Homo-oligomer: A and B are copies of this chain.
Amino acid sequence: MTDSPSSAPTAALVVIGNELLSGKIVDENTPYLMAQLRECGVRLCRVVTIEDDLDVIAEEVRHASEKYSWVFTSGGLGPTHDDVTVEAVGRAFGVGLVRHPDLVETLRKFKGDAAAGLDRLTWIPDGGDVFWGHNGTAHWPTPYINNVYIFPGVPKFFRARFTELRPTLMSSPFFAAAVYCSPHESELVSRISASDAAFPEVDVGSYPQFGDEDHRVRVTFDSRDRAAVEAAMAHFVAQLSAEWIVRITPV
């Protein structure tokens, strides 16, 4: 299924934190972003969860920035020793860090005299900027450089800042349809392959269920082209015996 439309903007998510890999904290940002990007018509191609390691983060961000339209990082953005994401994003682009006046001012506003020990929160990669959004409702802006946006790991803040960026990402949504089938997947393999080959602009998926009384295989059709989804599904259905079709979920 590598044949999704090449016209869709793409994205990668880099999730940072030992606490997520050990399972100590559940990652709520990835499922949230998956749903959001799908609504925006942005194809999420890669999610990687890595440790708080400067070089590993830098390498991931560099790779993702070259390959995808948008890159989002989650986590490692606080004031403590393990918060190395901003520095790592700088390293990905071979630049150091500078203080951003908006962050200095925002930190002073929220923290007053306690701001002294939190200097790390005011830095961005040199050559980057901060993104406030269009609503005028943001409490804190998002540092970015090139196509890389640096989000905090705390879900409440991740959501608030992503919401500001959402209108910028919105292009055209994906359309989806599904056929629920009663035979074993082995009966359907060649038919699925035929429809997949005939409609290169549609992403065709096959999801067998085990122990499900309702159906044995769900075959899905996804594309940003609504007509193509409908045509691919019709092509597949035409290959089936009528009694094999449990249910169709149209576009």
Residues of chain A whose beta carbon lies under 8 Å from any beta carbon of chain B: 1-2, 4, 18-19, 21-26, 31, 34-35, 38, 44-54, 56, 78-82, 111, 114, 117-118, 154, 156-157, 174, 176, 184-187, 189-190, 192-193, 196, 203-208, 210-211, 220, 222
Contact = CB atoms under 8 A, between A and B. Distances in A.
Q: Which of A23, A117, A156 has the most CB of B within 10 A?
A: A23
Given A46-B48, A78-B206, 4 more contacts: A21-B46, A111-B186, A114-B184, A156-B210
A18 to B, nearest CB: 5
A213 to B, nearest CB: 15
Given A21-B34, A35-B23, A185-B80, A154 B50 contact: no
Given A2-B52, A79-B185, A206-B78, A222 B22 contact: yes
A205 B51 CA distance: 12
Number of copies: 2
Contacts of A207: 19, 25
Q: Is the interface of A mostly helix, strand, loop or mixed?
A: mixed
A34 B45 contact: no
B189 A80 contact: yes
Q: Which of A1, A48, A51, A114 has the most CB of B within 10 A?
A: A1
A138 to B, nearest CB: 16
22 contacts: A1-B18, A1-B51, A2-B52, A2-B53, A2-B54, A4-B18, A21-B34, A21-B45, A21-B46, A21-B47, A26-B31, A46-B48, A46-B49, A78-B185, A79-B186, A81-B189, A81-B192, A82-B204, A82-B205, A82-B206, A114-B184, A117-B189
